[in-house]
Amino acid sequence: MYKSSIELRYLYKTYTSNFVNNNIEIKKDKIKLPKLKYVNAKIHRYFEGRVINATVSKTSSGKYFVSICVETKIEPLKKVSGNVGIDLGLCHFAILSNGEKIENPKYLKKSLDKLAKEQRKLSSKEKGSNNWNKQRIKVARLHERISNQRLDFIHKLSKRIISDNQVIILES
Protein backbone atom coordinates (compact mmCIF):
# COMPACT_ATOMS: atom_id res chain seq x y z
CA MET A 1 0.00 0.00 0.00
CA TYR A 2 1.43 3.36 -1.03
CA LYS A 3 0.89 6.52 0.98
CA SER A 4 -0.16 9.81 -0.58
CA SER A 5 1.98 12.91 -0.14
CA ILE A 6 -0.43 14.16 2.54
CA GLU A 7 0.11 11.03 4.65
CA LEU A 8 3.91 11.12 4.21
CA ARG A 9 4.30 14.06 6.58
CA TYR A 10 3.16 11.81 9.44
CA LEU A 11 6.18 9.53 8.96
CA TYR A 12 8.24 12.09 10.88
CA LYS A 13 7.57 12.07 14.60
CA THR A 14 8.58 15.37 16.22
CA TYR A 15 8.59 17.05 19.60
CA THR A 16 9.32 20.75 20.14
CA SER A 17 10.42 22.31 23.42
CA ASN A 18 10.81 26.03 24.08
CA PHE A 19 13.86 27.49 25.83
CA VAL A 20 12.86 28.23 29.45
CA ASN A 21 15.15 28.44 32.52
CA ASN A 22 18.21 27.16 30.64
CA ASN A 23 16.56 23.80 29.84
CA ILE A 24 18.31 23.53 26.43
CA GLU A 25 22.10 23.60 26.44
CA ILE A 26 24.79 22.60 23.93
CA LYS A 27 28.17 21.30 25.09
CA LYS A 28 31.06 19.77 23.14
CA ASP A 29 29.38 16.47 22.21
CA LYS A 30 26.17 16.59 24.27
CA ILE A 31 22.84 18.37 24.11
CA LYS A 32 20.76 19.00 27.24
CA LEU A 33 17.06 18.55 26.51
CA PRO A 34 14.07 18.76 28.85
CA LYS A 35 12.94 15.38 30.26
CA LEU A 36 15.98 13.66 28.66
CA LYS A 37 18.85 15.53 30.38
CA TYR A 38 22.18 15.22 28.49
CA VAL A 39 22.10 13.22 25.25
CA ASN A 40 25.17 12.26 23.19
CA ALA A 41 25.16 14.04 19.83
CA LYS A 42 27.23 14.70 16.74
CA ILE A 43 27.19 18.48 16.53
CA HIS A 44 28.18 19.58 13.05
CA ARG A 45 27.70 23.33 13.37
CA TYR A 46 28.22 25.60 16.36
CA PHE A 47 26.44 28.93 16.67
CA GLU A 48 26.46 32.25 18.45
CA GLY A 49 23.17 33.66 19.67
CA ARG A 50 20.13 33.08 21.83
CA VAL A 51 18.41 29.67 21.72
CA ILE A 52 14.66 29.92 21.05
CA ASN A 53 13.57 26.26 20.86
CA ALA A 54 14.66 22.74 20.00
CA THR A 55 12.79 20.18 17.89
CA VAL A 56 13.60 16.47 18.23
CA SER A 57 12.50 14.43 15.22
CA LYS A 58 12.64 10.75 14.35
CA THR A 59 12.75 9.69 10.71
CA SER A 60 11.11 6.56 9.32
CA SER A 61 14.57 4.93 9.13
CA GLY A 62 14.92 5.22 12.92
CA LYS A 63 17.37 8.13 13.15
CA TYR A 64 16.94 11.00 15.60
CA PHE A 65 17.77 14.65 14.83
CA VAL A 66 17.67 17.79 16.94
CA SER A 67 17.05 21.13 15.21
CA ILE A 68 17.85 24.15 17.33
CA CYS A 69 16.29 27.49 16.43
CA VAL A 70 18.64 30.37 17.30
CA GLU A 71 18.28 34.14 17.11
CA THR A 72 21.52 35.49 15.70
CA LYS A 73 22.95 38.14 13.40
CA ILE A 74 23.49 37.07 9.81
CA GLU A 75 26.35 38.57 7.86
CA PRO A 76 25.27 39.56 4.32
CA LEU A 77 27.16 38.14 1.34
CA LYS A 78 29.70 40.28 -0.47
CA LYS A 79 28.36 42.22 -3.45
CA VAL A 80 29.54 40.84 -6.76
CA SER A 81 29.02 42.21 -10.25
CA GLY A 82 28.20 39.04 -12.19
CA ASN A 83 24.89 38.04 -13.74
CA VAL A 84 23.81 34.72 -15.18
CA GLY A 85 20.86 33.11 -16.94
CA ILE A 86 19.95 29.49 -16.18
CA ASP A 87 18.21 27.11 -18.57
CA LEU A 88 17.09 23.81 -17.05
CA GLY A 89 17.50 20.95 -19.49
CA LEU A 90 16.94 17.24 -20.03
CA CYS A 91 20.41 16.09 -21.15
CA HIS A 92 22.18 18.41 -18.70
CA PHE A 93 20.87 19.47 -15.32
CA ALA A 94 21.35 23.13 -16.20
CA ILE A 95 23.08 25.26 -18.81
CA LEU A 96 24.33 28.68 -17.71
CA SER A 97 24.41 31.72 -19.99
CA ASN A 98 28.22 31.83 -19.75
CA GLY A 99 28.32 28.45 -21.56
CA GLU A 100 28.90 26.24 -18.52
CA LYS A 101 26.99 22.95 -18.63
CA ILE A 102 26.15 21.34 -15.29
CA GLU A 103 25.78 17.58 -15.61
CA ASN A 104 23.15 15.48 -13.86
CA PRO A 105 24.65 13.71 -10.83
CA LYS A 106 25.64 10.18 -11.92
CA TYR A 107 25.61 8.65 -8.43
CA LEU A 108 21.86 9.18 -8.27
CA LYS A 109 21.11 6.56 -10.98
CA LYS A 110 23.08 3.93 -9.05
CA SER A 111 21.14 4.73 -5.87
CA LEU A 112 17.79 4.58 -7.69
CA ASP A 113 18.67 1.16 -9.15
CA LYS A 114 19.53 -0.11 -5.66
CA LEU A 115 16.27 1.33 -4.31
CA ALA A 116 14.22 -0.51 -6.96
CA LYS A 117 15.94 -3.78 -6.04
CA GLU A 118 15.27 -3.31 -2.31
CA GLN A 119 11.62 -2.36 -2.97
CA ARG A 120 11.14 -5.56 -4.98
CA LYS A 121 12.49 -7.52 -1.99
CA LEU A 122 10.09 -5.65 0.31
CA SER A 123 7.07 -6.49 -1.84
CA SER A 124 7.76 -10.23 -1.57
CA LYS A 125 7.82 -10.21 2.25
CA GLU A 126 4.72 -10.88 4.35
CA LYS A 127 3.40 -7.55 5.60
CA GLY A 128 3.87 -7.09 9.34
CA SER A 129 6.55 -9.77 9.77
CA ASN A 130 9.97 -9.12 11.30
CA ASN A 131 11.71 -9.60 7.93
CA TRP A 132 9.26 -7.16 6.32
CA ASN A 133 10.04 -4.59 9.02
CA LYS A 134 13.83 -5.01 8.56
CA GLN A 135 13.42 -4.60 4.80
CA ARG A 136 11.13 -1.56 5.30
CA ILE A 137 13.88 0.11 7.30
CA LYS A 138 16.43 -0.66 4.54
CA VAL A 139 14.12 0.96 1.97
CA ALA A 140 13.53 3.97 4.26
CA ARG A 141 17.30 4.43 4.66
CA LEU A 142 17.78 4.31 0.88
CA HIS A 143 15.00 6.89 0.39
CA GLU A 144 16.71 9.09 2.98
CA ARG A 145 20.09 8.66 1.28
CA ILE A 146 18.68 9.61 -2.14
CA SER A 147 16.95 12.63 -0.63
CA ASN A 148 20.22 13.70 1.03
CA GLN A 149 22.14 13.24 -2.26
CA ARG A 150 19.66 15.43 -4.15
CA LEU A 151 19.62 18.12 -1.46
CA ASP A 152 23.42 18.15 -1.22
CA PHE A 153 23.80 18.60 -4.99
CA ILE A 154 21.19 21.39 -5.12
CA HIS A 155 22.58 23.24 -2.08
CA LYS A 156 26.17 23.15 -3.32
CA LEU A 157 25.16 24.30 -6.80
CA SER A 158 22.88 27.11 -5.58
CA LYS A 159 25.52 28.34 -3.10
CA ARG A 160 28.11 28.48 -5.89
CA ILE A 161 25.78 30.35 -8.27
CA ILE A 162 24.63 32.80 -5.59
CA SER A 163 28.15 33.61 -4.40
CA ASP A 164 29.38 34.28 -7.98
CA ASN A 165 26.47 36.36 -9.33
CA GLN A 166 24.41 39.38 -8.31
CA VAL A 167 21.57 38.82 -10.80
CA ILE A 168 20.14 35.37 -11.62
CA ILE A 169 17.60 34.89 -14.41
CA LEU A 170 15.57 31.69 -14.85
CA GLU A 171 13.34 30.54 -17.69
CA SER A 172 9.64 30.17 -16.96
How would DSSP label each residue in 97-124?
TTS-EEPPPTHHHHHHHHHHHHHHHHHH
Conformation bin of residue 119: beta by default, left when phi > 0, alpha when psi is -120 to 50: alpha
**In the listed set 17, 44, 71, which residue is the last one of a domain according to the structure?**
71
**Structural domain includes residue 38:** yes
Tens digit of pLDDT for each residue in 17-68?
898 888 888 888 899 988 888 999 898 888 888 899 999 888 888 888 899 9
What is the average pLDDT across 112-116? 93
Query: So what's the pLDDT on residue 84?
Result: 92
* Contact (Cβ atoms closer than 8 angstroms) between residue 126 and residue 146: no
The mean predicted confidence, pLDDT, of the chain is: 86
Per the domain annotation, does 153 fall within a domain? Answer: yes
Question: For residue 162, what are the contacts with CB-CB under 8 A and spacing of at least 6?
Answer: 77, 168
Rounded to 5°, the CA angle 149-49-68 comes to 40
User: Looking at the predicted structure, is the pLDDT value of residue 6 above 50?
Assistant: no
pLDDT band with cut points at 50, 70 and 90 for residue 11: low
Co-location of 48 and 104 in the same domain: no
Host domain of residue 23: 5-71
The pLDDT-based confidence of 5 (bands split at 50, 70, 90) is very low
Residue 77 in any domain: the answer is: no
Same-domain check for residues 163 and 134: yes
Domain end point (choices 47, 71, 95): 71
Instruction: Say if 154 falls within a structural domain.
Output: yes
Confidence band, pLDDT 50/70/90 cuts, at residue 12: low
Is pLDDT above 70 for 102? yes
Q: Kindly give the pairing relationship between strand 50-58 and strand 37-40.
A: unpaired
Determine phi and psi for 60, rounding to 5 degrees.
-70, -15
Least confident stretch, 29-33, 77-81, 90-94: 77-81
Q: What is the pTM of this model?
A: 0.74
Question: Is residue 116 one of the residues assigned to a domain?
Answer: yes
Same domain, 21 and 99: no
The reply to whether 76 falls in a domain is no
Note whether residue 90 is domain-resident: yes
Element (H, E) at 78: none
The answer to whether residue 119 sits within a structural domain is yes
Q: Lowest-pLDDT range, 8-12, 20-24, 152-156?
A: 8-12
Per-residue pLDDT at 8 exceeds 50: no
Specify the pLDDT at position 165.
Answer: 87
How many domains does the chain fold into? Answer: 2
Determine the Cα–Cα distance for residues 124 and 3; give it in Å rounded to an integer: 18
Does 92 lie in the same domain as 67?
no
Minimum mean pLDDT range among 6-15, 127-136, 155-164: 6-15
User: Tell me, what's the pLDDT at 4?
Assistant: 43
Q: Is 94 exposed, middle or buried (0-12, 13-18, 19+ CB in 10 A)?
A: middle
Same structural domain, 96 and 60: no
